[in-house]
């Protein structure tokens, strides 16, 4: 019953009256845009007079209206189009979608749209030898896992559906005894070692459930433990929770027993094409040989919980502790091996690694006043199968956003800054398309991109908006979300419901909505962590925090269909519409505002709070080593003072002084770059953001200052403590320097203590 809310408290369709009003408002918006565009454009010998903007001063003035014209029915139609056939990266369907988007963008009115190809390392199941997990009895196969997911609805059976596999898996046919390792986290293997040292993992095959951490890390953990192979399955405890009346696809939103989660196993700070780290995968590229240091050296394969039940239900060994138990109707045992000792398990994995071309599509609306400043908005296009959630719900919304901007452009409107539309290829393999693009254009993007706004899956649930962002953009997101109607109650705003359902502080009646740190996992990563472009990402989300699940249930399975989306997540596409509206409005604000809508004070507040957390956790330990937080807090105080002073400068900036405007905008744009250190984090040189980056050691404890937190992670147990303490000291200094660099950035002349 508790689940009911997530299946969709269906909103009433908007009444015809509403659409008429919307169309009217849209027309007014476009007209207004043209007028503003006219006044904003410096023409002939007169000087440019920038339009005051809602973000400057206290008199809000509207820009063009990009909210009302966003149409839910169009998005539905788009999603139907993009989910017709599977469109895995490197396939003809992915290319054909790319060409479709390019042509559509031109038709919609963008100034240009082009395909940008990259020749990258991809990975597929072998065409002739099928991947499987078998049970052997005296060497003879008596069972094997499904070669493909069952077709549960007519029409889900397109011939191009790729069977479940883990991209970049090592090839091989290992045989061995099965050991159950829960989620295959570091702590799971440590528990095994500490409490069951009699179980020798060397040469075994690990079975572990999906969830909690990235599957690539599970593979590396199993490999480090000495396993010959890793079987990943989706346990009902995580993907089909029995709420008394459990319904699985096609009857409900949960994963059926035949579904398996595809996904890559590529672990790297670089991401992007595994063989061209740091550089674009163009024809001239040098491709490294030792790329598979970032890829597992053992076979990895995903199965459904139907198959898993057979494996787990026949295991021997001690029964697991409660925390390790899933929801299958079996007694979960550790192994090693089956209760019938004549049986063992064999993996047959012939997944390839091959170079293919993937395509980005780059659309462009040239800015009128500052064409060399880019607001980049992006979404990936490739899907494991139909991708109705991931990413095509985002792609469907994207095409509606581009339509609205294209219409405006056709009517003569030009934004102050350029808008770049990026439809990325091969995200599912490890952010390949976006990373290669950032690598190819890193100098110009670092010099010119003011922000990157990402939507991967637009709708993964129907509960609330969910946002990840740099603190710089908090205020822009709040402001935009207040303008967007709530999808369930059009009389209230998206902001209100978001705040109610995901409050930053549930006990505070004046709470703001919660905005999460960015973490990793989609195309914002290369923008934010490699070159310091302020970034955000958003989705409409399920009520994840009370469920404790790691993703929507059918994630990366064949059951991510249009039917699934329309039936269980967004019947009326109003959630898609809300995300698209917010996306368009934030982009418009960034592209039109005379002064960039960035809030430096929020950055100060956010990172000071994060540093307080670090200090609380580690101050005593560090003090014993003679390490002080004084320098960092002194730098934070400088940052705070500089931000306050800079806000004064902004408020006093003559809105007619174009050079002064460009100057403060450059400072705002450069602020995130101040946290970029070209030397990168320790052992992760391609993660260059000193404040925000996914922690390499602990996905939960750390959400900021990864350099310090990673170095402190269980330092008392480290083998070479002196070296570890040196890294801590070095990272404390690097952090201080990065914050001081932010201070320098907020001053337009060189500033130093003297």
Q: Which of 413/552 has CB closer to a second copy?
A: 413
Interface residue with a second copy among 659, 717, 719, 720 (CB under 8 A) is: 659
Query: Is the separation of the CB atoms in 382 and 427 below 8 Å?
Result: yes
Helix and strand totals (H; E) in the chain: 23, 18
H-helix or E-strand containing 726? helix 721-745
Q: Cα angle vertex 425, ends 419, 430, to 5°?
A: 115
Q: Which of 138/753 has CB closer to a second copy?
A: 753
What is the smallest separation between the CB atom of 449 and a second copy, expressed in angstroms? Answer: 10
- Residues 29-68 interacting with a second copy (rule: CB under 8 A): 42, 45-48
By CB under 8 A, which span of 151-159, 293-301, 403-411, 727-735 interacts with a second copy?
Answer: 727-735
Residue 635 interacts with a second copy (CB under 8 A)? yes
Residue 720 interacts with a second copy (CB under 8 A)? no
Q: Which of 358/740 has CB closer to a second copy?
A: 740
Interface residue with a second copy among 70, 75, 207, 420 (CB under 8 A) is: 420
Interface residue with a second copy among 124, 183, 441, 498 (CB under 8 A) is: 441
By CB under 8 A, which span of 143-151, 182-190, 320-328, 655-663 interacts with a second copy?
Answer: 655-663
Residue labelled with tokens 């000087």: 47
Distance from the Cα of residue 687 to its chain's centroid: 15
Binding mask 256-295 toward a second copy (x if CB under 8 A, else -) reads ----------------------xxx-xxxxx--x------
Residue 732 interacts with a second copy (CB under 8 A)? yes
Residue 626 interacts with a second copy (CB under 8 A)? no
In terms of Cβ atoms closer than 10 Å to its own Cβ (0-12, 13-18, 19+), residue 467 is buried
CA dist 298 and 309 (Å) reads 23
Kindly state the DSSP code that residue 459 receives in the 8-state scheme: B
The size of the chain, in residues, is 754
CA distances from 77 to 217, 580, 732 (A): 38, 14, 52
Give the CB-side neighbour count of residue 146, counting CA atoms within 13 A.
21
Q: How would you classify the pairing of strands 417-424 and 354-365?
A: antiparallel
What is the smallest separation between the CB atom of 97 and a second copy, expressed in angstroms? Answer: 17
Q: Which of 170/725 has CB closer to a second copy?
A: 725
CA dist 746 and 362 (Å) reads 32
**What are the residues facing 208 on neighbouring strands?**
232
The size of the interface with a second copy (CB under 8 A), counted in residues, is 69
**Which residues have CB under 8 Å from 563's CB, separation 6+?**
153, 250, 388
By CB under 8 A, which span of 25-33, 384-392, 457-465, 676-684 interacts with a second copy?
Answer: 676-684
Q: Which of 506/733 has CB closer to a second copy?
A: 733
Q: Which of 171/634 has CB closer to a second copy?
A: 634
Q: Which of 334/420 has CB closer to a second copy?
A: 420
Q: Cα angle vertex 555, ends 264, 498, to 5°?
A: 120
Interface residue with a second copy among 352, 666, 698, 715 (CB under 8 A) is: 666
- Residues 446-465 interacting with a second copy (rule: CB under 8 A): 447
- Long-range contact pairs involving 20-24 (C-beta distance under 8 Å, separation at least 24): 22/68, 22/69, 22/71
Q: Is the dihedral of CA 563, 564, 565, 571 positive or negative?
A: positive
- Residues 116-145 interacting with a second copy (rule: CB under 8 A): 116
Q: Cα angle vertex 53, ends 49, 59, to 5°?
A: 110
Residues binding a second copy (CB under 8 A): 42, 45-48, 114-116, 278-280, 282-286, 289, 362, 364, 366, 369-372, 374, 418, 420, 440-444, 447, 631-632, 635, 656-659, 662-663, 666-667, 670, 673-674, 676, 678-679, 685, 688, 726, 729-730, 732-734, 736-737, 740-741, 744-745, 748-750, 752, 754
């Amino acid at each position: 019953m508790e689940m009911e809310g997530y299946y969709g408290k269906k909103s009433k369709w908007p009444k015809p009256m509403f659409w008429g009003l919307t169309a009217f408002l849209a027309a007014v918006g476009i007209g207004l845009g043209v007028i503003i565009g006219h006044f904003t454009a410096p023409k002939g010998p007169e000087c440019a007079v920038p339009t005051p903007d809602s973000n400057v001063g206290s008199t809000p003035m509207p820009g063009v209206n990009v909210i009302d014209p966003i149409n839910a029915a169009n998005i539905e139609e788009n999603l139907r189009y993009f989910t017709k056939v599977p469109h895995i990266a490197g396939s003809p369907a992915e290319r054909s979608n790319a060409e479709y988007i390019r042509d559509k963008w031109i038709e919609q009115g963008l100034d240009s749209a082009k395909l940008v190809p990259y020749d990258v390392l991809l990975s597929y199941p072998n065409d002739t030898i099928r991947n499987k997990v078998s049970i052997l009895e005296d060497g003879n196969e008596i069972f094997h896992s499904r070669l493909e997911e069952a077709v549960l609805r007519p029409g889900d059976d397109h011939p191009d559906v790729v069977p479940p596999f883990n991209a970049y898996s090592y090839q091989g046919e290992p045989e061995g005894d099965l050991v159950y390792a829960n989620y295959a986290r570091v702590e799971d293997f440590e528990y095994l070692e500490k409490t069951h040292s009699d179980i020798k993992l060397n040469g075994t095959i690990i079975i572990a459930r999906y969830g909690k951490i990235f599957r690539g890390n599970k593979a590396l953990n199993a490999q480090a433990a000495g396993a010959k192979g890793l079987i990943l399955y989706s346990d009902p405890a995580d993907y089909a929770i029995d709420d008394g009346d459990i319904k699985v696809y096609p009857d409900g939103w949960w994963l059926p027993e035949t579904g398996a989660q595809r996904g890559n196993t590529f672990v790297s700070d670089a991401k992007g094409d595994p063989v061209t780290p740091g550089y674009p995968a163009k024809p001239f590229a040098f491709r490294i040989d030792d790329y598979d240091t970032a890829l597992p050296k053992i076979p990895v394969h995903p199965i459904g919980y139907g198959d898993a039940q057979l494996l787990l239900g026949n295991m021997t060994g001690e029964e697991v502790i409660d925390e390790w138990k899933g929801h299958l109707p079996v007694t979960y045992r550790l192994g090693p091996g089956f209760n019938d000792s004549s049986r063992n398990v064999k993996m047959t994995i012939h997944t390839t690694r091959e170079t293919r071309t993937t395509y980005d599509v780059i659309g462009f609306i040239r800015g009128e006043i500052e064409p060399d400043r880019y607001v980049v908005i992006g979404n990936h296009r490739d899907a494991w199968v139909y991708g109705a959630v991931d990413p095509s719900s985002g792609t469907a919304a994207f095409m509606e956003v581009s339509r609205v901007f294209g219409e405006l452009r056709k009517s003569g409107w030009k934004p102050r800054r350029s808008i770049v539309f990026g439809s990325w290829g091969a995200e599912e393999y490890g952010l390949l398309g976006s990373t290669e693009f950032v690598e190819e254009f890193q100098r110009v993007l670092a010099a010119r991109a003011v922000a990157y706004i990402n939507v991967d899956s637009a709708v993964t649930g129907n509960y609330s908006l969910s946002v990840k962002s740099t603190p710089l953009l908090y205020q822009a997101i709040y402001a935009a979300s207040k303008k967007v109607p709530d999808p369930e109650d059009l009389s209230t705003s998206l902001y209100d419901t978001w705040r109610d359902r995901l409050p930053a502080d549930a006990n505070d009646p004046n709470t703001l909505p919660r905005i999460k740190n960015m973490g990793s996992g989609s195309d914002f990563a290369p923008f934010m962590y490699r070159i310091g472009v302020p970034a955000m990402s958003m989705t409409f989300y399920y009520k994840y925090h009370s469920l404790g699940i790691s993703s929507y249930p059918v994630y990366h399975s064949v059951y991510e269909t249009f039917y699934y989306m329309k039936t269980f997540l967004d019947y009326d596409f109003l959630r898609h519409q809300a995300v698209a509206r917010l996306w368009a409005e934030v982009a418009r604000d960034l592209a039109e505002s005379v002064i960039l809508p960035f809030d430096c004070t929020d950055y100060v507040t956010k990172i000071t709070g994060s540093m307080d957390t670090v200090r609380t956790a580690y101050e005593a330990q560090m003090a014993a080593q003679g390490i002080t937080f004084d320098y960092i807090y002194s730098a934070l105080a400088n940052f705070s003072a500089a931000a306050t002073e800079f806000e004064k400068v902004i408020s006093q900036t003559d809105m007619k002084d174009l050079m002064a405007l460009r100057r403060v905008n450059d400072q705002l744009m450069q602020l995130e770059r101040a946290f970029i250190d070209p030397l990168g984090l320790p052992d992760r040189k391609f993660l260059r953001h000193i404040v925000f980056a996914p922690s390499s050691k602990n996905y939960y404890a750390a959400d900021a200052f990864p350099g310090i937190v990673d170095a402190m992670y269980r330092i008392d147990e480290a083998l070479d403590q002196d070296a570890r303490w040196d890294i801590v000291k070095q990272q404390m200094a690097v952090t201080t320097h990065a914050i001081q660099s932010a201070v320098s950035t907020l001053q337009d002349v060189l500033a130093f203590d003297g």
